Amino acid sequence: MRRLLAFASCLVGCYSPQPPAGAPCPDGACPDGLVCSPATQTCERRAVDAGAHDATPGDGRLADASIDAAIAVDAPTSGAILVQQKGRERIASSSLATTLDVPPVAGHTLVMIGGGPVAPLVGVSGGGIATWTRAAFSPVAANVEIWYGVTDGSSSTVTITAQSAASSLTMLVTEWSGIATTLALDGAAADAVQPGEATAGQIATTNAHDLVLFAVASFTPNTYGTLSGYTALTSLAGTQTGVSQVAWYREVTTTGTFAPSVSVTNSEWDACLVALELAP
């Protein structure tokens, strides 16, 4: 009787209602309850596509996890990215052009920061942008202006045009990804020749995710201070033109009031402050 009970216990304990996974299936046939997985050529409870090379035989959950991880790695990140920048200056000219080192990407935003003393620019052209928008300008002394537009990628050269052939021109062109392609301007301010630090005043943004740009131009000689919380762009010393230019940027993720300022040693300065909305 004890032998019969032991034999019965073995039958109960050793029987599995599901056939074991992992056996080869070169002919594509598997026992009931299993399928031949293309990725491993073995009998599994779930088939895994042959493209999922990281799948683990016999465990569909691990296969799914490896696929999800690959998607997460390739997911794009949001926010503004400075792709490239190029600056130039020229004395006694009615126009000034600069060519980016790499052709801009269609859909990216180009921002031109620059100008010529006393008078505002006539306009900005090129860079694959049909119509440039002037976001802010201050032409009181050295003059600084901020223009922007969405490029179609057809041109790397941007040109600014002055009102006089005797102008000393300064320009910095930057390329950005992540900026909204329509209705991007979320705030702008400008000021000039005030006592104390150089500032454009303040802007109050209405969009939670913006790129804030702050630029100052001054007659030389001049020494600029540092600006905490912002990242500096390429500065132009004004060795040819007698006008030096500095600019900074900052990405913000909440609405608020922004009024950056920087110390200067020459009071003949102009400043601009602009906020551009980032793409959702």
Q: What is the DSSP string of 54-72?
A: TPPTT-HHHHHHHHHHHHH
Percent of the chain, pLDDT > 90?
Answer: 69
Mean pLDDT of the chain: 83
Q: In one letter, which amino acid is 243? A: V
pLDDT of the residue at 201: 97
Other C-beta atoms lying within 10 Å of the C-beta of residue 160: 30
How many residues in the chain? 280
List the pLDDT tens digit at each of the 280 positions of the chain: 444 344 334 344 444 445 567 777 766 677 766 667 655 677 766 554 443 333 333 333 323 332 232 333 333 446 999 999 999 999 989 999 999 999 999 999 999 999 999 899 999 999 999 999 999 999 999 999 999 999 999 999 999 999 988 789 999 999 999 999 999 999 999 999 999 999 999 999 999 999 999 999 999 999 999 999 999 999 999 998 999 999 999 999 999 999 999 999 999 999 999 999 999 9
Helices and strands of the chain, counted as H and E runs:
2, 19
pLDDT of the residue at 92: 86
Stated pTM of the model: 0.73
- DSSP code at position 120: -
Contact indicator for 258, 111 with CB cutoff of 8 Å = no
Angle, CA 164 vertex, CA 189 and CA 162 arms, to 5°: 40
pLDDT of the residue at 73: 32
